[in-house]
Amino acid sequence: MSDEAPKVREVQTLYVAEAEDGIRLDRWFRRRWPHLSNIQVQKMARSGQIRVDGARIKPEGRLTAGAAVRVPPIPEPIVRAAGEHMALTPADIAFAKSMVIYEDDLVIALNKPWGLAVQGGTKTTRHVDRLLSAWGEGMDRPRLVHRLDRDTSGVLLLGKGPEAAKRLAGAFARRQAKKTYWALVFGLPKPNAGQIDLHLKKSGINDYEIMRPADPKETGAEPAETAFALISHAGQRASWMALRPFTGRTHQLRAHMKAIGHPILGDPKYGDEKSAELSGPLKLQLHARRIELDHPSGGTLVVEAPISPEMRAGFQHFGFDEGEADIDPFAGVRRMR
């Protein structure tokens, strides 16, 4: 993953994403602002310009999910990628607003489409983070509090203002958010419901990074837990599953379903020859359907996202009907440990 944040002309507070738990401070900065040198990051950290939850931190210090990072003004890159720093067009703003499925004084929920990155990179200039300027800059600009893979559609929450963002990010960091994903997978899992408790480790480099099962004692192995439940199935060929991650590892659901022999359809990275043949032209069949967590102002926030056109194509191909699903297939389900 190569993430990039927008330009920073004044001091801002950004929050460490759930998938970034444990990342080094210097790498966190370099992912967002690739033009920064290690020396620049070290200087900002050692001079106290960078602070985490109000405290100084060394460049090699590790960040935790939900931590508030004080980001000082970032120097402009000398050479800019074409169009990277252009203002949003009216079409960009209209597109950003069209994704909104819920909004109040503290929270915005988007239905992120398939194929749209949440944050940018060296080759990605159109992403959700950039589109947030549709709501304004400074305090008016909403803040990302968690992530979805580029090819995963569905609910993406934003916080309005630093306090709302901090509370939402904290709920994700403490694993308090109940997330329900829908996935179409190869074959028919047996048993039809249960929990996958399998450590994962990132291997490969850059765009070739992949999460693989790992022994808990292996260096770099991270615990990962996913509950699964069958909603419907098309014979023995394909199944519509509900998935609930209790941890937030990169590609966790995709790696876990592959590990139990039922890769998600339309997945070029974690699929196999049989799932690829069954998938045909289908895109990744993974959708963040529902999120339930504490609202920053009190009470409970529940948001559901209609399925994407790509997911709908999979439903139509296998004959699934959205009405077959329970509102919460995991009601009453708790982690095994």
Indicate the DSSP class of residue 225. E
Rounded Cα distance, 204 and 180, in Å: 29
For residue 245, list its beta bridge partners: 226
Q: Is 92 designated active site? A: no
Q: Which residue among 149, 207, 267, 272 is the active-site one?
A: 149
Tokens for 276, please give them.
């690829």
CA dist 82 → 2, 28, 306, 307 (Å): 18, 24, 34, 33
Rounded Cα distance, 41 and 160, in Å: 28
Is residue 326 helix, strand or coil?
coil
Q: Which residue's structure tokens are 């935790």?
A: 64
Q: Are 168 and 179 in contact (CB under 8 A)?
A: no
- Spell out the residues 6+ positions from residue 294 whose beta carbon is closer than 8 angstroms to its own: 167, 171, 176, 300, 301
CA dist 106 → 17, 41, 96, 171, 288 (Å): 18, 32, 17, 15, 21
Element (H, E) at 276: helix 273-279
Q: Tell how strand 153-159 and strand 286-294 pair up.
A: parallel
Residues annotated as catalytic (active site), given as ranges: 149
